[in-house]
Amino acid sequence: MDWETLAEKLKAMGMQLGGEQLPKTPQRKPVPIDQVVNGTFQETIFGPVFCLQETFPLDHVHGNIKLNAYNSIRVLSEWARCPEIDDSQLRNLVFLDTETTGLSGGTGTMAFMVGVGRYTDEGFVLAQYFLKNPSEEPALLAGLSQFVDSLSAVVTYNGKSFDMPLLQTRYIMHRLSTPFVNIAHFDLLALARRIWRERLESCTLGNIEHQVLGVTRSNEEVPGYLVPEIYATYLRTGDARPIQGIFYHNAIDILSLAALFVHATQILELPTSTKTQNGIDIASIARLFQAMGKTDIASALYAESTQHDLPASLFARTLMDQAGIHKKQGNFDEAIVFWQKAVAFDRLDACEELAKYEEHRQRDYLKAMDWVLKAFSLSEKLNETERYSWHQRLVYRQERLKRKIDHC
């Protein structure tokens, strides 16, 4: 085929060839951050850092939680092992969350946004420090240090594993003194797992927001997994418009931290109040108090939880927890009652505890053997791995009881 002839014919028909005549896609003009977000440049010893600051009234409602509806933080401080933080120091807490260039941490990861919040006389102040360029990181860290100066505790969500080590590394790399040394730490992820993991499929902050705090994020929200990619695109193009969604995402994280902290003070100070109506949650809170050594409160909460419609497995576990408290206190008559109830739910450990009681405290080896045989029977319902593990324990106890019976 004669391509030149064909091209001439196509031109004669009025057709345009090639891409020369096609309209060019207009280039999107980059918009700087200060034209996208209503923040300011704060001066530091290392130069300016961009910061968006907003003050929320103390009666601001986030989800279904008022930010000033906190009860005493006494129990929460005990749980976090920082009893020195009392109600008088509420204004000395800083709520912190970072947005980073990667989700795995490591020396190559930096926090390009650090959101912090604190209570003041004027309200709840939320400040977000943003890294326009990686070279400005010392200024961001200096600005953050100014905000947290004189504060005595930090509140995070998974901050012990991620945010704090990351920030500590960045301060060290720039040979700056970190403001987070000798500061108490409330990591609310650990608390959330303690209280809600039995009921919720996930204890991510987003799920806790939705299921516990009643927070619904708007369509401004940017999914967390997209945050590093959006920032990388911003560094490449200089266009800050997509960054606006990250500011929203980070601000909601900080407000949710504060709301969760308030809610935690409510349910730990008054665990059977209307704030905690779910029996599964009450049982989990009971277990938390038991771990803290507050067995009287734990016993009352376990009893309260069993008045609710608990799943059978959790009900049986609660019986064993109650028995454990009585055993530790030497109240074996009460412990026996709970162990015997738990046997009805196929709890092998209840059979084992009853066998121990009959063998060591009553010296009734035949009754002890009966409980061992009962445990053997129940073990047939287990999978092969669990059954093998239990058989190892039960055979050892059975052989010892046989020897004792033979010597009687």
pLDDT of residue 103: 73
Distance CA 309, CA 307 (A): 7
pLDDT of residue 272: 72
pLDDT of residue 20: 53
Same domain, 78 and 169: yes
Residue 190 lies in a domain: yes
Same domain, 241 and 355: no
Q: Decide: helix, strand or coil at residue 58.
A: coil
Confidence class for position 14, pLDDT limits 50, 70, 90: low
Domain count, the chain: 2
Over residues 125-133, the mean pLDDT reads 97
pLDDT of residue 133: 94
Question: To the nearest whole number, what is the mean pLDDT of the chain?
Answer: 91
- Could you write out the DSSP letters of every residue in 191-253? HHHHHHTTT-S---HHHHIIIII-----TT---GGGHHHHHHHHHHH---TTHHHHHHHHHHH
Same domain, 90 and 214: yes
Domain with 355, as residue range(s), is: 347-408
Instruction: Select from 223, 248, 269 the last residue of a domain.
Output: 269
Residue 308 DSSP code: S
pLDDT > 70: percent of the chain: 91
Residue 164 lies in a domain: yes
Residue 107 lies in a domain: yes
Question: With contact defined as beta carbons under 8 Å apart, do 226 and 219 qualify?
Answer: no
Same domain, 54 and 182: yes
230: nearest Cα among 116, 163, 130, 161: 130
Confidence class for position 271, pLDDT limits 50, 70, 90: confident
- Cα 161 to chain center, whole Å? 11
Instruction: Select from 249, 269, 289 the last residue of a domain.
Output: 269
Whether the predicted pLDDT of 368 surpasses 90 = yes
Residue 317 lies in a domain: no
Whether the predicted pLDDT of 24 surpasses 60 = no
Whether the predicted pLDDT of 288 surpasses 60 = yes
Residue 193 lies in a domain: yes
Residue 281 lies in a domain: no
Each residue's pLDDT tens digit, 33-49: 999 999 999 999 999 99
pLDDT of residue 71: 82
Question: With contact defined as beta carbons under 8 Å apart, do 243 and 30 qualify?
Answer: no
pLDDT of residue 151: 85
Helix axes 365-379, 348-356, angle to 10 degrees: 170
Whether the predicted pLDDT of 399 surpasses 80 = yes
Whether the predicted pLDDT of 171 surpasses 70 = yes
Q: What is the pTM of this model?
A: 0.87
Helix axes 312-328, 332-343, angle to 10 degrees: 160
Same domain, 256 and 364: no
Residue 285 lies in a domain: no
Both tokens assigned to 97: 């969350």
Q: Please tell me the least confidently modeled range out of 97-111, 167-181, 259-273, 355-369.
A: 97-111
CATH number of the domain enclosing 110:
3.30.420.10
Confidence class for position 69, pLDDT limits 50, 70, 90: confident
Over residues 141-168, the mean pLDDT reads 94
Same domain, 125 and 259: yes
Over residues 375-383, the mean pLDDT reads 94
Over residues 172-195, the mean pLDDT reads 94
Residue 80 lies in a domain: yes
Q: Decide: helix, strand or coil at residue 50.
A: strand
Instruction: Select from 269, 294, 313 the last residue of a domain.
Output: 269
pLDDT of residue 377: 95
pLDDT > 90: percent of the chain: 80
Confidence class for position 15, pLDDT limits 50, 70, 90: low
